[in-house]
Amino acid sequence: MRERDEQAFQRKKAEIMEACFNCYAENGLTGTGIQALADACGLSKASLYTYFDSLDDLIVESTAYCMSKVEDDFMQLAPTGMEDIARFIDEVPYWTAERHGKKYRLMYQVYTHPKYIEHGKAFFAGVNERYRAYARQLEPLLGIPCEMITSLIFIFVRASVHYALFEDEYYLKSQMDVLKQGVFLLGRQYGKENQE
């Protein structure tokens, strides 16, 4: 029996997860059959089971993988300093709604389904850790303590995702206005403390 090239296998599995997740995002969780997934990947139905134990396994793994990529994509646009905050707050919610809105809808469809809710809890526990890691990266750039930045990230992301899901402009603007004021007040407070 030939030994499997693990790196090639993992690369192909990642491609399959993205193709399947995008297919689900486009057509809905219940509106997408195994044949549509196989077609989206350019594989046979049987070949999908080479990479996943079951359809549930594919759904859970592809959701976690693709939403982690969305987070990374989102945070690549993170502010580079206090002077970049307004740009980030004003532009990124609209950018992520346009680029990832369907993915957010699918994520909530998956993670609120009774069958997958434990996976959702585990994913969001990981989100909490990743946001703290992002906050640690931003702390020296913004001069605001990591704990405060983590809370600001939660507000920002939740408001952005809510906008992506429902296009609720009033909710987005009210959250972003408070967020901007909070960031600048904290920046002023901690900036002064650092100068003393």
Residue 167 has pLDDT above 80, yes or no: yes
Residue 194 has pLDDT above 60, yes or no: no
Residue 196 has pLDDT above 60, yes or no: no
Per the CB < 8 A criterion, the answer to whether 155 and 179 are in contact is: yes
Closest CA relative to residue 179, chosen from 145, 142, 149, 147: 149
**Cα(35)–Cα(99) distance, rounded to whole angstroms?**
26
For residue 1, name the pLDDT band (cuts at 50, 70, 90): very low
Residue position matching structure tokens 């399947």: 20
Residue 46 identity (one-letter amino acid): A
Q: What is the pLDDT of residue 4?
A: 74
Calculate the CA 92 to chain-centre distance. Answer: 13
pTM of the model: 0.89
Is the backbone of residue 28 left (phi > 0), alpha (psi -120 to 50) or beta? left
4 SS3 class:
coil
Q: What is the pLDDT of residue 31?
A: 86
Averaged pLDDT, 38-67: 96
Averaged pLDDT, 141-163: 95
Q: What is the pLDDT of residue 74?
A: 84
Torsion angle in degrees (nearest 10) through CA of 63, 73, 78, 155: -20
For residue 59, name the pLDDT band (cuts at 50, 70, 90): very high
Task: Give 71's Cβ-side CA count (13 Å radius).
Answer: 21
- Between 117 and 74, residue with greater pLDDT: 117
